[in-house]
Each structure stands twice: as structure tokens, then as C-alpha cells.
Amino acid sequence: MSGQLLISLLSPSIGALFFAAFYLLWRNQPKLNYSLSAALGFLLSAAGFIVQDILPAWPYELHRIASNFGFLAGVCAFMAAPLQRRHIPIPVRSIILLIIATMTALFWFLTIQPNLAARIAIMSVSLVVPVAVTLILLLRVSDQRYSDRLILGVVWFTLLLSMLRPVVAFLLPQSFGNYTALEQSTYWGMVHFSYVMMSVTLAIVLFVAIALDLIDELHHQATTDSLSGLLNRRGFESAANSALTVSNPKRQFKALMIADLDHFKSINDSFGHAAGDQVIKSIARHIQVIAGDTAICGRIGGEEFAILLPDHDETMAADIAESIRRDFDSLTTISIGLVISEQPATLSSLLGVADKALYAAKKNGRNQVFILHHSLEDQEA
């Protein structure tokens, strides 16, 4: 086996291995749909190298059209993966137009007006476009996590390689020779080198991102109530404690309410547990809409919900509590115990006072909001 053949086998072998890895990962975790896009990218690019370097030449060298289609479609699939991961719409129509325009231009400069330099320039520009567009779309995402920054780094790296390769090729004399000597040219060696660098880097970063995503998913499952979609007690306590720790020092107001569905057991007894579950889901959606994005909401018991409102004074919190109680249109009513604190307070002491307020609301006839104020004695209790 010649050294040239070994080099020719390197890129498709790497592509095939990564295709198998990401495909099996997707089969095991279908929610990670971006791993399928990555697998498709590796498959297409590996096929491009096989057609270009290993298979027999096609009539009129049309195999070059097929190989370049594999390279361009592969890059588009690669770049679709990080977009899918952040739920950014993929510009499918633009991708199709780009591929059609590129293949048409390549066909022209291959069969009608043969020009190797023009063909290389066209492919170089076409490969840069999806990478640049992906980078722009990812930079628009506001909540950049650590894994997002890693992916941004590899997209920047891919863009740099895609731009640097043709520049160096055109600056080096006879870097891409002619049609028959392309596979032995400096340019083609740079294509293999840049592909190996890009594919290995991209694969490693995507594997890291997938691992972090799975960890986030496990954390979400551990802290979220599956029925209501709100935080469970563990998740609520963690988020609320963090919010109380970093609360705005200029405004010490804190409000916490416990909302409890009145006579919830009678709903299950009269209409069945399915109806009870629908009421739980309904009140959860209702609380999220009324309380707003800054509120921390959790289901801390069977029909009991807690809502922490950092930096809300009594008037603001009471309005929200009344809206939750008054506007809930379902099979039952809601009693709410609300505690207001104007000083630093622990979550446990706030919950204790809110629970007393809820008991008072129930005792006084239900379907009402009862307000208590947090004191130093409550903090020390």
C-alpha cells in the first residue's frame, strides 16, 4: 500500500468513525437531534473524500462534482448541529440555493470552460458561507453557557481554516498544479490537513457539549416536578436560597406566598385523578403567567405551591397574590398565605411565616389572601 493511498484513507476513515459514534449516540438519545446532523456531516464529507481520492474517475471528471457536493453538504450539516442545539431555525432554503449555485458553477468551470483556479475559488467561498452564517447566528444568542463558548470557539477555528486554506494555496506557486495532479498537490494536502483538524476539534467539542447537556437534563429532572412543570421542593429551595443570597441590597423587600387549592381531595373523589392532574397543571400555568419571569415558582406539596418574589414590596406582592386567587377559573378556589419581609431573611423562616398565613386564610373561610410580616423573632425561631 502506497503512502499516498494511506493519506487518502485518513480523512474518510476519521469521518466514518465519527459518523458511527454520533449516529449511535443519536440512536441512544434521540432528543440530541444535533448529534444526527453531526453524524450526517461526517458521513457526507467522508463520502466526498472516497469519491475524490479512492473510487475510479467518472466520465468527464464528474466525480469532482459529486465529491465537492459531499464536502459542501457535509459542512452545512456540521454547522446545522450547533444551531439545532440552541433551537435556532436552520436556513434550509438558503442552504439549498447555495448548494445548487455552487454545483452549477463547478459544472461550468469543469466541463464548459475548464478552470481549476476558478473552481477552487468557488468552493472556498461556498465553504466559508455556512460557517460564517452559523457564527453570526450563534453570536446573537444572549445566554451563552460554557458549552456554547466552546462551540463558538470551534466555529471560529473552522472559519479561520476555511479562509486560510485558499489564501495560502493561491500564494504558494504551483500549490494546486493541474487537474491530473490535484491529488498530489500542496493544496489537496492542505484540504486533508484542515479537514482532520476541523473534524477532530469539532467532534471533541460536541462530545463535551453533549455531556454537559446530559448533565443539565439530569439536573432538570432532579429539580423539576414532572406534572406541573414547576420546580419541585428540592429545586425550589435551591433556587430560592440562591435568590435570597444575591437579593438586591438596595431593596430588602422580599415576598413569599404559599398557595393551596381548597378542597382538592373532593376533586379527585368526584371527578377522578385525571381531572385533579389537569387542575394541578392549570394552576401551575396560571401561577407562571401571573407571577412573571422574575418569580421562583415551585410545587412543594400535593396541591401546595410556593412563589418567591425577590424585591417585591407588600403592594406589589399582594396584587400578584390576589390576581392568582381571583383569576383562577377551575373546579376549586385558592387560599394564599403571603409573608412580607423588609430585612434579610432565611427561606425556612419565610416559609414558616407563610405557612402560618396560609393556615389563617384557611381558618377564616378559604379563597382569600392572608398577609403576615416577617420579624426578627421569626428569623430566630
Tens of pLDDT, residue by residue over 141-175, are 888 888 899 999 999 999 998 888 777 766 765 65
Nearest to 130, CA basis, from 161, 99, 165, 168: 99
CATH of 3-223, one of 2.40.128, 3.90.660, 1.20.1070, 1.10.3470: 1.20.1070
Q: Which residues contact 25 (CB under 8 A, 6 or more apart)?
A: 32, 35, 39, 210
pTM above 0.85, yes or no: no
For 14-41, write each residue's pLDDT tens digit. 999 999 999 999 999 888 899 999 999 9
Among 183, 303, 342, 380, the one annotated catalytic: 303
- What is the CB neighbour count within 10 angstroms for residue 326? 13
Provide the residue ranges of all domains of the chain, joining segments of one domain with +.
3-223, 233-380
- The span from the CA of 131 to the CA of 83, in Å, is 11
For 206-254, write each residue's pLDDT tens digit. 999 999 888 888 888 899 998 999 999 999 999 999 888 875 555 567 8
Q: Is 14:199 a contact under the CB 8 Å cutoff?
A: yes
User: In the CATH hierarchy, which fold is given to the domain comprising 233-380?
Assistant: Alpha-Beta Plaits (3.30.70)
Active site residue 237: no
Do 233-380 and 3-223 have the same topology in CATH? no
- What is the CB neighbour count within 10 angstroms for residue 92? 10
Per-residue pLDDT, 229: 92
Q: Is 309:341 a contact under the CB 8 Å cutoff?
A: no
Low-confidence residues of the chain: pLDDT under 70: 1-7, 169-170, 172-187, 247-252, 376-381
Burial string for 8-29 (b: 16+ CB within 10 Å, else e) reads bbbbbebbbebbebbbebbeee
